[in-house]
Amino acid sequence: MVAPKTLLDKIWEAHEVVSQGAGKPSLLYIDLHLVHEVTSPQAFDGLRAAGRRVRRPDLTFATMDHNIPTDVPSVIRDPIARKQVEVLAKNCAEFGVHLAGIESPDQGIVHVIGPELGLTQPGKTIVCGDSHTSTHGAFGALAFGIGTSEVEHVLATQCLWQQKPKVLKLELVGRRPAGVTAKDVILGVIARHGVGFGTGHVIEVSGEVVSAMSMEERMTVCNMAIEAGARAGLVAPDETTFAYLRGRPFVPQGEAFDRAVAVWRTLRADEGAVYDKTITFDVSGLEPQVTWGTNPGMCVGVKGAVPDPAQAASETERRAMERALEYMGLAPGTRIEEIPVQHVFIGSCTNARIEDLRQAAAVAKGRKVAPGVRALVVPGSKRVKQQAEAEGLDRVFKEAGFEWREPGCSMCLGMNPDIVPAGERCASTSNRNFEGRQGRGARTHLVSPAMAAAAAIAGHFVDVREWLGELEAAATGGR
C-alpha cells in the first residue's frame, strides 16, 4: 500500500528530475519562472559571461514593478532605477523572454499578474526572485522566492536543486467575524506563533475558513506565509480555484480546461497524510489586526493597546520590543485607536487586487480623508485598475480625497518615488513593517484594506467593524 501523501509530496514527486534519496537535495523542474527588474540583471549577466542561453523562454515571463513610479510610470527620474528597467527590456529582447513592460496592458505587480493572466495554475512549480512568490501557493502551486544566483540557475537549466521542505499543516477553523479579513487572519496567526514558526516548512493551509475564502483572500494568506518564515504557502485547489481560472488568457481553453480540472482535482492531501507539525487556529474571536512594531508578528487587535516590554517572556524579547517601540515612537499602553496616521497606503502584492479595492472603496464611499492625511490607492496591475474604473471605484476614492495611482509596488518598499518621510506613520496594506522599509525612519502599521481606508478617514486607527452597518450593502465585505 502506498503511504498517504501531502499535497507537497504530490507536486514534488511530479517535478523531480534527479532524486538522490531522502535527506539529499533533488533537482526540481520549474514550470513557470517570473522575472522582474530588481533581482534579474546580475543573472542575465552571468548567462552572458558563460555563453549560456535561456533554456525555456516559453516558461519565463517578465514584468516591471518595483521601480515604476505610480504617477507617470514612463518617467523614471532616478537614473539608476531607469537603467535597471532598461536593462530588463534589453535582456528580455536579447534572450527571447516575454516582457509585460510599462506600456503593456498586462503590466503589474508580478504576484498580481501571474494569477490574473492564468500563468499561475494548480500543481505548477513557480519561482521568482522575490520572497512573496509564496502568493501563488493559493492555487495549489508550489511557489517560492529565490535569490539572483538561483534565478540564473533556472534561466540556464529550468531546474533548481532543492532540499525537500518539511510540511506544516495550518488549520483555520471557526467562524470568521464580519469585518475580519484574510489579512487579519494571517496577521493573527503570525502574532500568535511568531515570525519564524514556518522556517524550513511549506505551510499547507486548510480548514473551513480557507475553503470559504475567495482566491484573492487565499492569496493574501499565502503571500504572508513568508512573513512566518515559510518557504511557501499551499492551498489545495477547489471549485473556487477552477472558477477563478476558467477563461484566463494562459489557461487551457474549452475542453482542454475541463481535462486540466480533472487532473487538478487530484491535487489534495490524502486522508491520513503525515505532517511534520500541525497548528490549529480558531478565527472566531479574532479582531481586525494592527501591527505596533517592526515585524509582522508584533501585532494586536484594534481594541488592544501597545504591549509593555516589561511583560515580555524573555530578556531577548524585551530588548527587541523596546527597540521596536523606540523606532515606532510609541509608549506601552497606548490604545491602538489613539494612534494617528499621516499616510495611508492601499496597495502591494498582499492587498491590491480588485476585491481589496472594493472593500476599501466601500469604507471610503461618501466620506472624506481626514485633513493632514495623504492616502494612496495603487492597483496591483493594469487589469485591476481597468476593472476598478469600470466599477467606478476610482471615482469613489477620488471623491473621498484618495490619490488614484498607476500599478506598481509603490510604497510597499520605497524603491520608487512613493516613500514615507522619517518619523511619520503609515497605515499600510503591505506585508512588512521592517525598519526603514517604506523610507528611512518611516513607521509602518500593517492593516487590512478596510482598516486602512477607515484610518485615512478618521486620521487614526478605528475599528472598522463599528462602521459595518453602512458597509453591509457592499457586495464583497468580510464574510
Partner 1 sequence: MEPFVTLTGVAAPLDRVNVDTDQIIPKQFLKRVERTGFGQFLFYDWRFLPDGKENPEFVLNDPRYRGASILVAGPNFGCGSSREHAAWSLLDYGFRVIIAPSFADIFYNNCFKNGILLVTLPDDAVRSLMDAAARGVAVTVDLERQVVETAEGASWGFEIDPFRRRCLLEGLDDIGLTLQHEDAIAAYEAKRKDNPLAVFAAR
Binding residues for partner 1 restricted to 19-58, rule: CB under 8 A: 24-25, 27, 29, 31, 38-39, 41-42, 45-46, 50, 52, 58
The CA distance from 3 to 272, in Å, is 9
Select 215 or 369, whichever has its Cβ closest to partner 1: 215
Give the count of beta carbons closer than 10 Å to the beta carbon of residue 305: 18
Strand partners, 104: none
Give the count of beta carbons closer than 10 Å to the beta carbon of residue 173: 14
Smallest separation, CB 44 to partner 1 (Å): 9
State the residue for C-alpha cell 464583497: 476
Strand partners, 132: none
Per-state percent for the chain, helix, strand, coil, to nearest 5: 40, 15, 45
Site track 103-142 with partner 1 (rule: CB under 8 A), x = hit: ----------------x-x-xx----xxx-x---------
- Give me the sheet containing 374-377, strands edge to edge: 403-404, 374-377, 343-346, 425-428, 443-446
Select 253 or 311, whichever has its Cβ closest to partner 1: 253
Smallest separation, CB 212 to partner 1 (Å): 27
| DSSP 8-state class, residue 104 | -
Smallest separation, CB 250 to partner 1 (Å): 5
Within positions 68 to 107, which residues make up the interface with partner 1, using CB under 8 A?
78, 80-81, 83-84, 87
Within positions 236 to 275, which residues make up the interface with partner 1, using CB under 8 A?
250-252, 256, 259-260, 263
Smallest separation, CB 238 to partner 1 (Å): 17
Select 252 or 304, whichever has its Cβ closest to partner 1: 252
Smallest separation, CB 264 to partner 1 (Å): 8
Q: Helix/strand/coil (H, E, C) string of 412-437?
A: HCCCCCCCCCCCCEEEECCCCCCCCC
Within positions 355 to 414, which residues make up the interface with partner 1, using CB under 8 A?
413-414
Strand partners, 300: 290
The distance from CA 236 to its chain's CA centroid, rounded to whole angstroms, is 18
Among 65, 106, 116, 150, binds partner 1 (CB under 8 A): 150
Smallest separation, CB 301 to partner 1 (Å): 22
Select 80 or 310, whichever has its Cβ closest to partner 1: 80
Within positions 419 to 438, which residues make up the interface with partner 1, using CB under 8 A?
422, 432, 434-437
- 183 touches 350 (CB < 8 A): yes
The CA distance from 223 to 145, in Å, is 11
Count the residues of the shown chain that bind partner 1, applying the rule CB under 8 A. 80
Among 218, 231, 383, 425, binds partner 1 (CB under 8 A): 231
Smallest separation, CB 398 to partner 1 (Å): 29
- 99 touches 75 (CB < 8 A): no
Among 441, 459, 476, 479, binds partner 1 (CB under 8 A): 441
Among 71, 386, 440, 470, binds partner 1 (CB under 8 A): 440
Cell numbers linked to 188: 493573527
Among 89, 104, 148, 401, binds partner 1 (CB under 8 A): 148
Within positions 170 to 229, which residues make up the interface with partner 1, using CB under 8 A?
195-196, 199-200, 226, 229
276 sits near partner 1 (criterion: CB under 8 A): no
Question: Which alpha helices (DSSP H) does 60-147 contain, by range?
Answer: 79-95, 110-116
Site track 278-297 with partner 1 (rule: CB under 8 A), x = hit: -----------------x--
Within positions 296 to 325, which residues make up the interface with partner 1, using CB under 8 A?
316-317, 320, 323
Burial-class residue 82 by CB neighbours within 10 Å (0-12, 13-18, 19+): middle
Select 29 or 95, whichever has its Cβ closest to partner 1: 29
Stretch that binds partner 1, among 1-9, 108-116, 146-154, 330-338 (CB under 8 A): 146-154
Virtual CA dihedral for 5, 241, 407, 299, nearest 10 degrees? Answer: -60
Select 204 or 435, whichever has its Cβ closest to partner 1: 435
Measured CA to CA in angstroms, residue 338 lies from 331, 364, 420, 467 at distances of: 11, 20, 20, 17
Kindly give the pairing relationship between strand 16-18 and strand 26-29: antiparallel
Select 243 or 256, whichever has its Cβ closest to partner 1: 256
The CA distance from 325 to 306, in Å, is 9
Within positions 331 to 350, which residues make up the interface with partner 1, using CB under 8 A?
none
Cell numbers linked to 467: 462602521
Select 164 or 176, whichever has its Cβ closest to partner 1: 164
Kindly give the pairing relationship between strand 159-162 and strand 26-29: antiparallel
